[in-house]
């Protein structure tokens, strides 16, 4: 794993662990639960990222989840990896911006229950080039996780959009 990537992910890990520890001092359980869940989940995901990057077999298997243009740019700026051609980088960045804009628009119009799985499937298929099976499994698992955390544990209503949910 290149030095720039290790440093950036280490910084993210330090921030997420610090945020998680800070939430333990909150006096009201209602104020503590959401940041505690998010901080702990983020910390675990970053640790999993480090484990995946250390293993050649896991890195190949989870390639779509760990390859990021940001790390390529950091490494290229540090003289590490060769730069990606500018046209390819611009195309990927524009595609990602379009996907994010589409997600925001779709969430505003039809709500999060439709926008989140649609965004995940389109991003995994179009941006990461994953198979339909992997895209649908990850999207379904993410939606299930969001439902359990926000609706069941935190007792929050998901945004249903201008159309009031479908």
Secondary structure letter of residue 62 according to DSSP: T
Predicted local confidence at residue 19, as pLDDT: 86
Handedness of CA 130, 84, 43, 160 (dihedral sign): negative
Encode the chain (166 residues) as per-residue pLDDT tens digits.
677 777 878 888 998 999 888 888 888 777 777 788 888 888 998 898 888 888 888 877 777 666 655 555 545 554 555 555 577 767 777 888 888 899 999 988 988 888 889 999 988 888 778 889 988 998 999 889 888 888 888 787 877 778 775 5
109-119: b (≥16 Cβ within 10 Å) or e:
ebbbbbbbbbb
- C-alpha pair distances (Å), 165 with each of 41, 100, 111, 162: 28, 20, 6, 8
pLDDT value at position 80? 52
Q: What local confidence, expressed as pLDDT, does residue 91 receive?
A: 78
Report pLDDT for 160: 79
Query: What is the per-residue DSSP string for 94-114?
Result: HHHHHHHHHHHHHHHHH-HHH
Rounded to the nearest 10°, the torsion over CA 150, 115, 44, 59 is 160
What's the pLDDT score for residue 1?
A: 64
């Amino acid at each position: 794993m290149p030095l720039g990537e290790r440093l950036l992910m280490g910084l993210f890990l330090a921030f997420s662990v610090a945020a998680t520890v800070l939430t333990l001092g909150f006096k009201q359980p209602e104020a503590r639960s959401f940041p505690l869940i998010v901080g702990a989940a983020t910390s675990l995901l970053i640790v999993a990222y480090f484990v995946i990057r250390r293993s050649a077999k896991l890195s190949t298997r989870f390639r779509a989840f760990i390859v990021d243009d940001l790390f390529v740019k950091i490494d290229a700026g540090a003289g590490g990896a060769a730069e990606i051609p500018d046209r390819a980088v611009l195309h990927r960045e524009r595609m990602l911006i379009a996907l994010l804009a589409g997600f925001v628009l779709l969430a505003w119009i039809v709500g999060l229950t439709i926008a989140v799985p649609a965004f995940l499937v389109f991003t995994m298929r179009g941006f990461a080039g994953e198979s339909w099976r992997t895209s649908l499994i990850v999207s379904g698992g993410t939606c299930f996780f969001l439902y359990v955390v926000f609706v069941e544990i935190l007792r929050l209503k998901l945004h249903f959009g201008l159309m009031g949910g479908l």
